[in-house]
A and B are shown apart, each in its own frame.
Chain A
């Protein structure tokens, strides 16, 4: 297993365009998380799935953001009508939901630049 994979690694888009990111978790992990990290800050939680169910969404996740995990495997995060404030690193993580405190494994992230 190669770990959590995110694509693309980098994305530059014009303001107002839609973008979609993909995350492939570690294969046996049933939990999948999305975080956003801006320069000089720690990651901020956006949303998480257990299997295909989206169980929690942060207030940071505006109506322009939507995440899916249709078959409980890979996940996509779409941002519609991008704004310059959306420029950030988007991190995906996965874990096994057996016990609280189970380690989350992170991907390398997708860096979004909105120009």
Chain B
């Protein structure tokens, strides 16, 4: 069985500051890792995913994430945030043969001007 822990429920940052949203996962098999963003009253939109290969993954809107197998982490980063990045961010995992996504509890990113 897989599980995901997002270590921060809320992260406030100032506009143009860097941000890191932390995600740790647990799995007994190889995993695929995802970050989704949810804007208010919207569905989830994929930011980026790690399937294999390079551990640094680049996504949309200037986000990137690094897969660290030894630390079982998949932290999301952005060097300079914008007001429009205010949203809920979800880390998710799926395993080989497992078709469903297992989500973390989410991190609410708040950008202050």
B70 within 8 A of A: no
Residues of A close to B44: CB separation below 8 A: 43, 91, 93, 106
Given A100-B97, A101-B49, are A44 and B43 neighbors across the interface (CB < 8 Å)? Answer: no
Count residues of chain B with CB under 8 A from any CB of chain A. Answer: 27
Residues of A close to B45: CB separation below 8 A: 106
B56 within 8 A of A: no
Report how far A100 CA is from B49 CA in the complex, Å.
12
Which B residues, 41 to 87, have Cβ-Cβ distances below 8 Å to chain A? 41-46, 49, 51
B interface, CB within 8 angstroms of A: 4, 6, 9, 32, 34, 36, 41-46, 49, 51, 90, 92, 94, 96-97, 99-106
**22 A-B pairs (CB sep. < 8 Å):** A31-B99, A35-B101, A40-B9, A40-B105, A40-B106, A41-B105, A42-B4, A42-B104, A43-B101, A43-B103, A45-B100, A48-B99, A91-B43, A93-B44, A100-B96, A103-B46, A103-B49, A104-B101, A106-B36, A106-B45, A108-B41, A108-B42
Known: A43-B90, A55-B99, A100-B96. 9 other contacts (CB 8 A): A31-B99, A40-B9, A42-B104, A56-B100, A97-B99, A100-B51, A101-B51, A106-B43, A108-B43
